[in-house]
Structures are given as C-alpha cells and as structure tokens.
Amino acid sequence: MSPWARFRADFAASRLALFGLIVLTLILVVALIAPWIAPQNPYDLGKLDLMDARLPPGSAAMDGGLVYRLGTDGQGRDMVSAILYGLRVSLLVGAASGLIAMVIGGGLGIVAAYLGGRFEQVLMRIVDIQLGFPAILVALILIATLGKGVDKVIIALITVQWAYYARTARSAALSERNKEYMDAARGLGLGRASIVLRHLLPNALPPLIVVGTVQIAHAIALEATLSFLGLGLPTTEPSLGLLISNGYEFMLSGKYWISVYPGIALLLTILSINLVGDQLRDVLNPRLAK
C-alpha cells in the first residue's frame, strides 16, 4: 500500500473527521463559486435597497424580485449572499495568513534547527517574546498602526502566527536532524540547501501541517474578532465577523438572523477545520499509530 493510500485509509477511520472534511469541502466549494450561486452581489451597493432592510427570513423583496431566505441586514443585503461572500473573505484571510506564516515561521524554524548556534538562540528568544503576548493584543496594535484593509489584516495575522510555526518546525527538525539519515545525507556530500530542503523539510512537515490547520482556524476566528471589534476589513465588503457585528445591535429587538446565521457559518467553518486538523494530528503522529 502506498503511503498516500494508507494515509487516506487512516484518515477515513474516524467518521467525525470524515464529516468534518465533507463539511469543509462543501464550505470551500460554496465560497469558491459564490459569485455564481449567490442570489445577489452584496458588494454592489447599487443593487441594495434600503427598503428591504432587516427583513426576516423568507420575506420577498419589496420589488418582488428575490426571496430573502435568511432575511436581510441593516442595508437590505440578502443574508445568503452576504454569508457566501463573507465566507470567501474569511477563508481567504485565514488561509493566506496561515500559509504565509507557515512558510516564514516553518522556514526559519527549520533553518534554526539545522544551523543551531547564535541564529537559533536569537530566533527562539524572539519566538518566546512573541508568544508571550496575547495574539489579539498584538493584532489590535498592528491594525491600529497599519490601518484597515485585507492586506493589513493578513500582515497582522502573519505576525501573530509565525512564531507557532517556528517553534513547531524547530522542534520537529531538531529531532529529525539527529537521525542517521541526516548524517548519511551529509556523508553523500549533498549541499546544505539540498539537505535542508529535500531531507529535513519533508520529514519535519507533518507536525507543521497539523499546526497549520489549527492555526488557519485560529486566524479565521481572530479575523472575525477583529472585524467584530470594527477593526480590520472595510464595512463595504463584510467578512463573517463584520456581519455578526452588524447584526449585534439588532439582536435585542428580535432581529436575530443578521448575527446568528453568519455565526453558524463561522462556527461550522472553524469546527470542520478543527475536526480535520485533529484527525490529521492523530494520523500523522507516529506515536499514536496503532
């Protein structure tokens, strides 16, 4: 059985994880094709009608065109469309920041483990300091200084996340570094770059992938938090967090749908990523292998 086939079989052993994977795939597909399946373009302010604001789920538009299955928000946006587009923003921000942080932090951590010495010492102390601050605090300060925008949010999220990857990658690479095949690779006269990239990196990758999935879920949650606090993304292109925040003021007047449905979408997204991540951790951890 090829390693890949065994990996798939191990992963599918948990029904819950399989469920998570299916939900996650659905969410990804839906987010990807949102422009073609959304009843309305929620970013096109010309299409929104304030007359339709805060309609409950199932109402028809005043002009009789659309049926708002999940109601509308304060600007008369169709909630279904807003959630679909909001998912895109949340996933984009989460995945982009998670992946870039993984490349930066993982790369630094592996190089630190390979080189050792002062570089490793300095880098790991920076990691310690970085992890000593609460992520949300660092992100808030950065957004306050950098200003709003998707790119700024991604930069802030990379800054608070790279250290996790660096620490994980270093410890994984340290334990791989002392294995005999690393000596063997050096004994073959391979260059440094090829030893790090082709021998150390692939063997240190599994824990990074696990941290990666969990961190992407964290990034999505963190972005939602920032948006909820009114920082980060512009109001014209709401992410899930911003939608929740927008509906928050109407919660007490019984207009629950503006906050609750985006909240459910966010919950499902993070939950499914975590289910997949947990199973990946179990499958990729040789110590838990049966």
Residue 204 CB, nearest approach to another protein (Å): 10
> Binding of another protein at residue 230 (CB under 8 A)?
no
Residue 116 within binding range of another protein, rule CB under 8 A: yes
Site string for another protein, 199-218 (x = CB under 8 A): x--xx---------------
Identify residues 51-80 at the interface with another protein (CB under 8 A): none
Stretch that binds another protein, among 78-86, 88-96, 197-205, 249-257 (CB under 8 A): 197-205
What is the Cα–Cα distance from 169 to 25, expressed in whole angstroms?
27
From 198, 234, 236, 248, residue interacting with another protein (rule: CB under 8 A): 198
Residue 122 binds another protein (CB under 8 A): no
d(C-alpha 283, C-alpha 205), whole Å: 13
Helices (H), 56-116: 79-115
Which of 243, 273, 245 minimizes the C-alpha distance to 80? 243
DSSP for 155-217, written as a single string: HHHHHHHHHHHHHHHHHHHHHHHTSHHHHHHHHTT--HHHIIIIIIHHHHHHHHHHHHHHHHH
Number of helices (H), then strands (E), in the chain? 12, 2
Q: Please identify, among the stretches 19-27, 98-106, 126-134, 191-199, the one whose residues bind another protein according to the rule CB under 8 A.
A: 191-199
**Smallest distance from another protein to CB 282, Å:** 19
Q: Is 61 left (phi over 0), alpha (psi -120 to 50) or beta?
A: beta
Q: How many CA atoms lie within 13 A of 52 on its CB side?
A: 25
Q: How far is the CB of 189 from another protein (least distance, A)?
A: 4
Nearer to another protein, 27 or 110 (CB): 110
- Residue 187 found at the interface with another protein (CB under 8 A): yes
Interface residue with another protein, options 183, 234, 235, 264 (CB under 8 A): 183
CB of 198 to another protein, least distance (A): 7
Cα 180 to Cα 275: distance, rounded to the nearest angstrom: 35
Token pair of 76, please? 């008369």
At 268, list the tokens: 């499902």
The SS3 call for residue 42 is coil
Residue 94 phi, psi (nearest 5): -65, -50
> Does the footprint of another protein cover residue 181 (CB under 8 A)?
yes
Nearer Cβ to another protein, position 54 or 199?
A: 199
Residue 188 in the binding site for another protein (CB under 8 A): yes
Residue 285 within binding range of another protein, rule CB under 8 A? no
Q: Answer yes or no whether residue 180 interacts with another protein by CB under 8 A.
A: yes
- The residues of the shown chain that bind another protein, judged by CB under 8 A, are 3, 116-117, 179-181, 183-191, 194, 198-199, 202-203
